[in-house]
Amino acid sequence: MSMVPQQRLLRTEIPGPRSLELHVRKSAAVSAGVGTTLPVYIERAGGGILVDVDGNQLIDFGSGIAVTSVGNAAPRIVEAVRQQVGDFTHTCFMVTPYEEYLAVCEALNEVTPGTHEKRSALFNSGSEAVENAIKIARHATGRTAVIAFDHAYHGRTNLTMALTAKSMPYKHGFGPFAGDIYRVPMAYPYRWPTGPDRCAEEAFAAFVEQVHAQVGETNVAAVIVEPIQGEGGFIVPAPGFLRAVAEWCREHGIVFIADEIQSGFCRTGDWFASTHEGVVPDLITTAKGIAGGLPLAAVTGRAELMDAVHGGGLGGTYGGNPVACAAALAAIETMRADDLAGAAKRIESIMVSRLQAMAAKYDVIGDVRGRGAMIAVELVQGGGSTQPNSALTAQISAACHREGLVTLTAGTFGNVLRFLPPLVIGEDLLNEGIDIIEGVVARLA
Ligand code: PLZ
């Protein structure tokens, strides 16, 4: 197995000539509806480095959107996948089952928050896991309404588009959307009208009042929330808010679903972000970091909810594919053995202190937030204005790309720069990436 050198290296402009050639082919062959953040075509990757087809080595602050937390082509994953792919590639768990699926469910039942009796079911994508969590909550409660939040992202399928808040690009022109879904305010400290200190209490009061008046508690099957909102801009809910919502759900027999698809699997410095908020979800959706890059997703939750569904009510041809399961077992083993939650905390301490120092210097950085290796800065107009600055955000991100640092943007207003390095990134690369950001901000701010 070739170990990718952990060094940034620019041989050509970014993107290079070979990438540009491939990008012409993309336009001719791939639907224009499938976008690309950075048209650099990747040939190899490992640790914190992506190697492109022109031989450039880029620092990875994206992890394929929070997926390759254990590193790209991580050794244990490669080994487990090689072994499994040689044994068998598919039978369909619903036809003739296999042990790997059980082992993944057992591991999920163990590492997710709460010591209650749990069950899991496996799917292919995050969106599919969210859809199934809603199906289970509706079936178990006999109710239909679902509550989602401002700035939420839950996927691109029809039901999950309805749960997702942002129109462009996710929903624009794709309606009509699934019904009986209601949106309430998120406790977003940086933008709460009366300030961060009153945010949790006032947001919870608004939540209770709106659900009561506009939906009716007894009609509500589930409340779904990301314990740290991902695509919405790495919004960490005001402390106490999620707990209040979860307790209120329990009082009213409503299923509390934590969507940990982006925040899960050690990303935030704990196995799951719910734990930071002192919340034990009834159901939890996972994907992304679960299997080191192979497509796998899951719903895990209280046995009485998960078992309420009639036999054969849940499934799908590829759900819990054996190769993806082998990868997941290796990823979970890697997170345990190499203490990747601890690694995420170390990334947080370096990133947050350096970004806060930048925020003190440049007033266009309105907020630095996040947990673990899920950190973001929110960019504003500055000079006393907290108006979102999406133009500057796009410029900074593009400038980072040209210097060989893969960064992503996020946020309902497109003004959040988010950083999701692999948890195995070396400290030198991490600091070099932040140096690039600092240089670019100094130039453009
Ligand atoms: N829930 C919290 O973050 C996926 C979306 C990228 P899928 N986020 C990345 C894009 O533009 O499509 C996500 C998430 C949360 C659900 C999902 C959906 O997961 O595996 O993309 O379906």
Task: Specify the pLDDT at position 352.
Answer: 98
Residue 41 near residue 6 (C-beta atoms within 8 A): no
Nearest CA to ligand 1 atom 7: 126
Please identify, by atom number, the ligand 1 atom nearest to the C-alpha of residue 127: 22
Ligand 1 pocket mutation pick from 262, 299, 416 by most atoms within 8 angstroms of CB: 262
Please, are residues 72 and 45 in contact by the beta-carbon 8 Å criterion?
yes
> Which atom of ligand 1 is least distant from the CA of 263?
2
Question: How far does residue 85's CA lie from ligand 1's centre (Å)?
Answer: 26
**The predicted structure's pLDDT at residue 2:** 53
Q: Which residues line ligand 1 (CB under 6 A)?
A: 65, 125-127, 130, 153-156, 226, 230-231, 259, 261-262, 287
pLDDT confidence of residue 426: 97
Q: Whose CA is nearest to atom 6 of ligand 1?
A: 65
Q: Which atom of ligand 1 is nearest to the CA of 170?
A: 11
pLDDT at residue 1, as a whole number: 44
User: Mutation test of ligand 1: which of 68, 123, 154, 272 has the most ligand atoms closer than 8 Å to its C-beta?
Assistant: 154
Nearest atom in ligand 1 to 155's CA: 18
Q: Which domains does the chain have, with CATH numbers?
A: 17-73+339-444 (3.90.1150.10), 77-337 (3.40.640.10)
Q: 294: closest CA among 56, 435, 84, 57?
A: 84
User: For residues 160-172, b (16+ Cβ closer than 10 Å) or e, as one string?
Assistant: bbbbbbbeeebee
Q: Which of 124, 130, 191 is closest to 157 using CA atoms? A: 130
Cα–ligand 1 centroid distance for 138 (angstroms): 22
Read off the pTM.
Answer: 0.98
3-state helix vs strand vs coil in the chain, percent to 5: 40, 20, 40
Per-residue pLDDT of the chain (445 residues), as tens digits, is 458 999 999 999 999 999 999 999 999 999 999 999 999 999 999 999 999 999 999 999 999 999 999 999 999 999 999 999 999 999 999 999 999 999 999 999 999 999 999 999 999 999 999 999 999 999 999 999 999 999 999 999 999 999 999 999 999 999 999 999 999 999 999 999 999 999 999 999 999 999 999 999 999 999 999 999 999 999 999 999 999 999 999 999 999 999 999 999 999 999 999 999 999 999 999 999 999 999 999 999 999 999 999 999 999 999 999 999 999 999 999 999 999 999 999 999 999 999 999 999 999 999 999 999 999 999 999 999 999 999 999 999 999 999 999 999 999 999 999 999 999 999 999 999 999 999 999 999 9
Structure tokens at 111: 């590492």
* CA of 128 relative to ligand 1 center, distance in Å: 10
For atom 9 of ligand 1, which residue has the closest CA? 65
Q: Which residue puts its alpha carbon closest to atom 1 of ligand 1?
A: 154
Specify the long-range contacts of residues 197-206, CB closer than 8 Å, at least 24 apart.
199/238, 199/241, 200/237, 200/238, 200/239, 200/240, 200/241, 200/244, 201/240, 203/237, 203/238, 203/241, 204/240, 204/241, 204/244, 204/245, 204/248
